[in-house]
Amino acid sequence: MIALVSFAASAALAVVGALLAASVRNLLHAALLLGVSLFGTAGLYLFLGQPWLACVQVVVYIGGILVLILFATLFSSDITGSGQRAPRALWFAALGTALTTALAAWRLVRGGVEALAARRGGEPVVPPAVGSTDAIGDLLLGAWFAPFFLAGVLLTVALVAAVAIVQRHRRPEVEAEHA
Amino acid sequence: MSAGTTSVLLLALPAAAAVLCACLRSARAAHAVAAAAMLVATLLAVPMAVEVVGSGAVVVGPHATWLDLGRFTLGVGTMVDPTGAVLAAIVALLATVVLVFNAWYMHDEPLAARFPWQFCLFAAAMQGVVLADNLFLLFCCWELVGLGSYLLIGFWFDRPAAADDAGYQARKGSGARGVLEHRLSPSHAQWKAFVMNRVGDAGFLVGIGALLAVSLQTGAEGDVLSFARLAALPTADLSAASLFGLSGESLLVLAALGLFCGAVGKSAQFPLLGWLPDAMQGPTTASSILHAATMVAAGVFLVARCLPLFPPDALAVVGWLGAFTCLFAASIACVQWDLKAVLAWSTVSQLGLMFAGLGAGAAAGGGEAAVAHLFTHAFAKCLLFLCAGAVIHGCHGHQDLARLGGLWRRMPVTAAFALAAVLALGGAPWFAGFVSKDAILAAALAAAKVPGGPGFGPFLLACAGSLLTAVYLLRWWLRIFAGRERQLEVTQAAHDPPRAVLAVLVLLVPATMAAPWTFGDWLPLPHGPEHATATTVALVLLALGSAIALVVWLLAPRAGRDLAAQLARVLRPLHTACAELWGVERAFDLLFTRGLGRGLAAVVARLDLGGERRLAALELDGAPRPLPASLDGVVDGLARGCADVGRAGALLHGGRVGVYLAIALGALALAVLVGWSA
Amino acid sequence: MPEFGPDAPTGYLLVAALLFATGVFAAISRRNAIGVLIGIELMLNAAALQFAAYGRFAKSAADPQGQTAAVFVIVVAAAEAAVALALLFAVYRRTRDIDLEQNRELRS
Amino acid sequence: MIGPLGGCIVGPLLLAAACLLLPSRLARWFALAGGLGVLGCGALLVADFAARPGADFRWLEQHDWSRAFGAAFTFGVDGPAALMLLLAGLTTAIATVAAWQQSDRPRLYHALVLVLLAALAAVFTALDLLLFYVAWEAVLLPMLPLIGLFGGEQRRYAATKFFVYTLAASVMLLAVLLLLWNSQPADGRSVAVPSVVAAAHVDPVHGTLHGLVLQGPAAAPRVHVPRGFDLRHLALQADAFAAVPLFGTTLAVLGLLAVLLACLVKLPAVPLHTWLPHAHVQAPTAVSVLLAGVLLKLGVFGLWRIGLPLFPSAAAAAAPALGALGLAGILWGAWAALGQSDLKRLVAYASVSHLGFCLLGLASGTAAGIAGALVFSFAHGLSSALLFLLVGVLYDRAHHRRADGFGGLARPMPVFAWLLLLGALAGASLPALAVFPGEFLVLTASFTAAAPFPAFAAAATLSGILSAAYLLWTVKRVAYGPLRHGEQAAFGDCDGRERAALLPVAVLLVVFGLWPKPLVDAVRPACELLAALLQGRSA
């Protein structure tokens, strides 16, 4: 019972946080609410028996990406004003698209659940949730080595690219202007 | 010279004179040229008339094809028959007389140089109506007659309406009845005349169209509108003709009624009669010819010429309407105080009488009788108007019957001429009108006895009209010329026209007698068994009418007050009705001028472009532009709808990341929804 | 098998779907680039959750492959965020603003 | 080598270039020369057709354009086209004289007028559908700046409306053009020649028809028509087009609808006419003259050249509806004119009413009706030009056009008043003035056509009353009565330049009113041929 309640709480945290993050006007609040939502997801990973993933989520996502985003909000000239919302027509378009997407996703979920049930052949027993950091490590350096390697390259390229983009506009005339 | 050549000259002379006079600046020279041309025309026309009437044959003049349309042609050409020959001669003669008279009448008028050419155009057009050998040319000239009347009525184009005329208001003085108060300005009167004539002409065109349709459907080709061909139409085999389920015979009735509709407009019959009294805003000399031989005569002439085409049903309509107009207009003439208005309504009434005669049909002798009355009436009415012109000229523009009187001492010759004309028109024995009016009454009586004819209605109405004719004509003469002078300041300067003018007027006097018309039996007047009855009735009516007029006039001074006014008080409702034209004018104004004219036009204009506010705001961008319920507004609405769609489309390509994202994700989601059902 | 709860796939998948839709909404309706980025992060997060959930319930025994894929998603998200924020920084330096309404340079 | 008809198009274009390049005081002379040149060609052709009546095409000339598409610069003129060419030249010359003192960018103005003239001449002489379409749209190009740059206060609105309305209406022509091309077999088609066409067009010397070799027996000749845009060849295939199914109906029906849309807006027929009052009111006087004088006739000519000959069966079926539209235009326009206070708008609505007669005549499908419609078009060009010029004379002096802002002008301006009366009487179709023959022909033709046309004609006679009412009422308000505004006593009568523009029109009105025979004779054979084709289809 406690498990169910805490599971529901995590799910609610994830969904409500996301909804608020999408809709509040203040950008700073939105970023923080995104963090709430990410925490909720991390909780869900725990219920899935994947504590390692939960840790990665918290460390990389919340500790890295979210802090980056919060840092970026400082660039924005107007994080609380009325200018945060898109034109009315676009807002409706967003709502429509989101609802359509939700509908489509729900359909996929239903299909996925049915497929899972069919694959287990009606077997009622849910496999035990076992932490498997070892297995992941094997996998990353074994069968998934190529993707793992590519992810590393991607991260490096991203890092270099980010620096390059920021650097590119440091032209002499701009510097002269700044001086 | 053959009659055919003469007929062309009769047309060409006035036309050439019109062109020539239009180029002349001097009024005297223009009058001289015009009068000379008309005199030559008269000298040509009279022998021609004698010749044609003597032989009784129809002379066909030169004919040319105006337009060849394959299935039929439209021609121009002349044709002279006895009626046309006499009428052409009368037109030419009266035109000459009136021109000479006008040279005196307008001797101090600055615009006088305009009169001759307009007048000659008018006369030329009328000659065209009389001498045309086909209905098409007749119609063209008919319209030009309308143009001539338009020009002449609006001769004093810059005069205001009487109510706004300071000169008239100053002249009116005390004791006046304000007879001109409700009269229109000349420029309004000319418009009214033209447009009302056009109402009739629309019917005329329908008549021509129906005749053409019937002719072509029965296989005719060539100049199908020539009178010779048309006359043969009723006896032809009409079984092939049908339109909208109407048989050929019904179409002929329709055609005849259409032609009659044109005549109703041109001859000022009920209900298109409002324009003629207003037409006297033109010079009196113009009225004298307009009321006599041209214009109004054209309508009677048209029906007389096309009488073979008129089936009995159409004739009944002609007879009833004519007789009704006769009485109707006579009743109005009795209560007029404007000396020209009495004559104008008298013309309407007399024309009604002619139509009553025409309605009796050729078999009853109605055609000849009506034409005879047309001739006699032309002379008498022309003379009357010229006398009226002399009176008005002598009295410096005063034309109120209540202020004139006793003028016979100052203008004895004019008074005598006018009396002759009055007696002629009233139908006194030994005078011209006696002959022709009797003939009409006889014809109407004869037609009444024919089973299936119009019945006794037209005859009785015509009799009542004749009675009133005697009343108002005698009243008119007595009030102007007899007794003592009512207001010396009005009449003291009056005098007869100069001798030269009188010498010309004298020419008209013999024609008011019966003798020239009955001598030699050249005028084919009907002499049926009804003639005696009709004569008796006419004489009784004349006596009765004269008695009424005399009694009213004689008693008036002795009673110390105006018996006419007393009578008017007693018969107030009747008097009011007559004076207000029985409401016809008002109804016409309400229904057509205000209703179908101005009212509907305003509605249509509003529905078309919208109101002035919308029009003023068209160019202002961004100004609120409510879509008015108008055609143009709908167009603008469509345009704005297109612009809105375009604006929505432009939103998709506005460079907004969100929009692209929405499109991409939305499309993906939709694809899943639609495509992943399996 | 209970329909919802920690031991059934439906709950996780539903949350993932909702997160994804919310991300879509945020990405479209925000006119600030950071708001859009938040939306994208939400969508990626939903994808990672999806992987993890399927990995947990796909086979009779727990399978680490789902978790591994989720890790990759997080990695990609991190790379994306880094590049996106660098881009934002660049835009900011040019226009002193990162409002997408004002910066509609994608328009032809 | 360019022949005279090509010269009617190239000449004005060259003169337009000269206008732009040479000093501005020469520009008006170039425009006048262009107008007179086209006028001369038109007059020669009309005289030729009047002297030797025929339904054939004359002064034919052809230049290569695109063999692959079967398109060529084919020029040729039949009677109606000759009449329209004459009208285009005449109106341009008159309008140029009316704009003689044009001070605002005169070079551009006259150059645009010349370009307009070239485009008009191309429409009237083109015998190639593609060329026709290009010219038809090209007419709009100079009109847009002529109204939009040189017009009155609301010129932008009026010019845009005119341009977009007429352009949108005629784009469907392009679709029809392609569909027609597409429906022809690649290697041409062998068609039977109707005997009336053979009688009118077979070259007696060479035994050819429109340049095509005759095959088969002389009694029932056939020709092999190549795929292309030659209007004469397309007309021969009219029956084939009527048999091509398209969108549930036939190509002929859709084609006629597209042509009708384009032509009825140009004409303009109620209820597609609302661009006209705006365009007329905003356009400068001379452009109004061009607009009413020639541009509206494009609608008539389009129906004559494309609509009726290419789709005769559909046209015969649509005739009652077209006649009803014509009648609606006659009455609606007349009543709307009666309700106007702006003089130019009044004349514009009078045009709507008058052009209704043209539509009625064309719809009647009889030779007399079609001839009447064409002659009426010509005469309306004269009468409306006169009225617009006169309104311009007033506007130059008073700087407004409200009818109630004038009164009694016949005293200070007698010549003006007489000409105004003449114009009004012509508009009211008085006999002896040029509008009457056309109107009378249309009416008589409708009376003698099949039901329901006699009923239309009967209702159309009302226009005689209404036109007299609104035009003569205008004369009364403007010219007659006492002088209502004291300052107008100082108005000068028409000066020499104005008379130079007005008097030729007035004289022509009288001349062609008394003697319309050459005009009718010039168009009649062609009209009879078309009427025979139409009647053959409807029976």
Residues B341-386: tens digit of each pLDDT: 899 999 999 999 999 999 988 888 888 889 999 999 999 999 999 9
Mean pLDDT throughout D450-463? 92
Q: How far is CA D466 from the centre of its chain?
A: 23
Give pLDDT, residue B523.
75
Cα–Cα distance for residue pair D505/D474, rounded to 1 Å: 20
User: Which H/E stretch holds residue D75?
Assistant: strand D71-77
Task: Supply the CATH number for residue C25's domain.
Answer: 1.10.287.3510
D354 C-beta neighbours (distance < 10 Å), count: 29
Residues B526-551: tens digit of each pLDDT: 667 778 888 888 888 888 988 888 88
Q: How far is CA A160 from the centre of its chain?
A: 23
- Hey, what are B475's tokens? 């009243």
Mean pLDDT throughout B498-521? 83
Mean pLDDT throughout B451-476? 88
With CB atoms and an 8 Å threshold, state whether A108 touches B662.
no
User: Cβ contacts of residue D132 below 8 Å, gap of 6+?
Assistant: D122, D123, D126, D231, D305, D306
Across chain B, mean pLDDT equals 86
Instruction: Let me know if residue C1 belongs to a domain.
Output: no
With CB atoms and an 8 Å threshold, state whether D520 touches B608.
no
User: Cβ contacts of residue D4 below 8 Å, gap of 6+?
Assistant: D41, D59
Q: Which residue has the higher pLDDT, D445 or B241?
A: D445
Hey, which residues does D402 pair with through a beta bridge?
D342
With CB atoms and an 8 Å threshold, state whether C108 touches B655.
yes
Put simply, whether D484 touches B (Cβ < 8 Å) is no
Instruction: Let me know if residue D145 belongs to a domain.
Output: yes
Residues in chain A: 179
Put simply, whether B528 touches D (Cβ < 8 Å) is no
Kindly report the nearest CA distance between residue B637 and chain A, in angstroms. 22
Kindly report the nearest CA distance between residue B650 and chain C, in angstroms. 10
Residues B131-167: tens digit of each pLDDT: 999 999 999 999 999 999 999 999 999 888 877 777 7
Cα–Cα distance for residue pair B60/B38, rounded to 1 Å: 23
- Hey, what are A28's tokens? 């700073």
With CB atoms and an 8 Å threshold, state whether C36 touches B658.
yes
Instruction: Let me know if residue D292 belongs to a domain.
Output: yes
Instruction: Let me know if residue C4 belongs to a domain.
Output: no
For B26, B324, B379, B462, B466, the CA distances from B327, given in Å and listed in that order, are 45, 5, 22, 7, 8
- Residue ranges making up the domain that contains C20: 9-95
Cα–Cα distance for residue pair B494/B407, rounded to 1 Å: 8
Q: How many helices (H) and strands (E) does chain B have?
A: 29, 4
Give pLDDT, residue B678.
45
Put simply, whether C105 touches A (Cβ < 8 Å) is no
Give pLDDT, residue D52.
92
Cα–Cα distance for residue pair B554/B548, rounded to 1 Å: 10
Give pLDDT, residue B623.
44
Question: pLDDT above 90 covers what percent of chain B?
Answer: 36
Q: For residue D446, how many C-alpha atoms fall within 13 Å in the half-sphere facing its CB?
A: 34
Instruction: Let me know if residue C107 belongs to a domain.
Output: no
- ipTM of the complex in this document: 0.75
Of B19, B32, B144, B41, which is closest to residue B92 (Cα–Cα)? B41
Categorize the per-residue pLDDT at D232 as very low, low, confident or very high, splitting at 50, 70 and 90.
very high
pLDDT at C108 exceeding the cut of 50: no
User: Cβ contacts of residue D136 below 8 Å, gap of 6+?
Assistant: D123, D170, D173, D262, D298, D302
Categorize the per-residue pLDDT at C20 as very low, low, confident or very high, splitting at 50, 70 and 90.
very high
Give pLDDT, residue B621.
54
With CB atoms and an 8 Å threshold, state whether A101 touches B659.
no
Give pLDDT, residue C99.
62
| Conformation bin of residue D217: beta by default, left when phi > 0, alpha when psi is -120 to 50 | beta
- Hey, what are B80's tokens? 């002279």
Cα–Cα distance for residue pair D136/D132, rounded to 1 Å: 6
Tell me which of B398-412, B640-654, C6-20 is least confident.
Answer: B640-654
Provide, as residue numbers in chain B, all residues whose Cβ is less than 8 Å from the Cβ of C28.
Answer: 658-659, 661-662, 665
D531 and D128 in contact (C-beta within 8 Å)?
no
Q: Which residue has the higher pLDDT, B579 or B304?
A: B304
pTM of the model: 0.83
Provide, as residue numbers in chain C, all residues whose Cβ is less than 8 Å from the Cβ of A106.
Answer: 14, 17
Helices B657-675 and B631-652 pack at an angle, to 10 degrees, of: 90
Across chain A, mean pLDDT equals 79
Categorize the per-residue pLDDT at A173 as very low, low, confident or very high, splitting at 50, 70 and 90.
low
Give pLDDT, residue D356.
95
Residues B24-70: tens digit of each pLDDT: 889 899 999 999 999 999 999 999 998 888 888 888 889 999 998 88
Domain range A1-80, CATH class: mainly alpha
pLDDT at B575 exceeding the cut of 90: no
With CB atoms and an 8 Å threshold, state whether B658 touches A86.
yes
Q: For chain A, what are the domain ranges?
A: 1-80, 133-179
The count of domains in chain D is 1
- Hey, what are B399's tokens? 């034309």
Tell me which of B248-252, B316-320, D8-12, D320-324 is least confident.
Answer: B248-252
Which of B672, B676, B677 is the mutation pick for testing A, counting most A CBs within 10 A? B672
B470 C-beta neighbours (distance < 10 Å), count: 26
With CB atoms and an 8 Å threshold, state whether C83 touches A161.
yes
With CB atoms and an 8 Å threshold, state whether B209 touches D443.
yes
The count of domains in chain C is 1
Give pLDDT, residue C107.
45
User: Cβ contacts of residue D249 below 8 Å, gap of 6+?
Assistant: none
pLDDT at A85 exceeding the cut of 70: no
Kindly report the nearest CA distance between residue A133 and chain B, in angstroms. 35
With CB atoms and an 8 Å threshold, state whether B657 touches C101.
no
Residues D192-205: tens digit of each pLDDT: 998 888 888 888 88
User: Cβ contacts of residue B462 below 8 Å, gap of 6+?
Assistant: B323, B326, B327, B352, B353, B356, B440, B441, B444
A99 and C21 in contact (C-beta within 8 Å)?
yes
Cα–Cα distance for residue pair D527/D370, rounded to 1 Å: 6
With CB atoms and an 8 Å threshold, state whether C37 touches A72.
yes
> Which residues of chain B from 176 to 235 reach within 8 Å of chain D, CB to CB?
185-188, 190-191, 194-195, 198-199, 201-203, 205-206, 208-210, 212-213, 216
Q: Considering only alpha carbons, which residue of chain B is nearest residue C29?
A: B658
Give pLDDT, residue A172.
52
pLDDT at B612 exceeding the cut of 80: no
Residues B384-430: tens digit of each pLDDT: 999 999 998 888 878 888 788 888 888 899 999 999 999 999 888 88
D345 and D400 in contact (C-beta within 8 Å)?
no
Cα–Cα distance for residue pair D79/D91, rounded to 1 Å: 18
With CB atoms and an 8 Å threshold, state whether C104 touches B665.
no
Q: For chain B, what are the domain ranges?
A: 311-542, 610-675
> Which residues of chain D from 351 to 370 reach within 8 Å of chain B, CB to CB?
367-368
- Hey, what are D108's tokens? 């551009």
Of C87, D528, C70, D436, which is closest to residue B139 (Cα–Cα)? D436
Cα–Cα distance for residue pair B668/A107, rounded to 1 Å: 13
Which among D428, D451, D521 is the nearest to B243, CB-wise?
Answer: D451
Hey, which residues does D191 pair with through a beta bridge?
D223
Whether chains D and C touch (3+ CB pairs under 8 A) is answered by no
Mean pLDDT throughout D463-476? 94
Residues B308-329: tens digit of each pLDDT: 899 988 999 999 999 999 999 9
Which among D332, D448, D476 is the nearest to B604, CB-wise?
Answer: D332
Coil, strand or helix at D211: coil
With CB atoms and an 8 Å threshold, state whether C67 touches A53.
yes
Which of B670, B674, B677 is the mutation pick for testing A, counting most A CBs within 10 A? B670
Whether chains C and B touch (3+ CB pairs under 8 A) is answered by yes
Mean pLDDT throughout D88-105? 93
> Which residues of chain C from 3 to 32 reach within 8 Å of chain A, CB to CB?
5-32
Cα–Cα distance for residue pair B86/B88, rounded to 1 Å: 5
pLDDT at B603 exceeding the cut of 80: yes
D144 and D96 in contact (C-beta within 8 Å)?
no
Residues D132-181: tens digit of each pLDDT: 999 999 999 999 999 999 988 888 889 989 999 999 998 889 999 989 99
* DSSP conformational letter for D433: S
With CB atoms and an 8 Å threshold, state whether B194 touches D468.
yes
Kindly report the nearest CA distance between residue B395 and chain D, in angstroms. 25
Cα–Cα distance for residue pair D152/D348, rounded to 1 Å: 16
Residues A12-62: tens digit of each pLDDT: 999 999 999 888 888 888 888 999 999 999 998 888 888 888 888 888 888
- Hey, what are B450's tokens? 């024919």
Mean pLDDT throughout D505-512? 96
Kindly report the nearest CA distance between residue A158 and chain B, in angstroms. 22
* CA dihedral over D178, D182, D183, D185, signed as positive or negative: positive
Coil, strand or helix at D93: helix
Instruction: Let me know if residue D215 belongs to a domain.
Output: no
Residues A123-146: tens digit of each pLDDT: 555 666 565 677 788 888 888 888
pLDDT at D58 exceeding the cut of 60: yes
Residues B559-571: tens digit of each pLDDT: 556 666 777 677 7
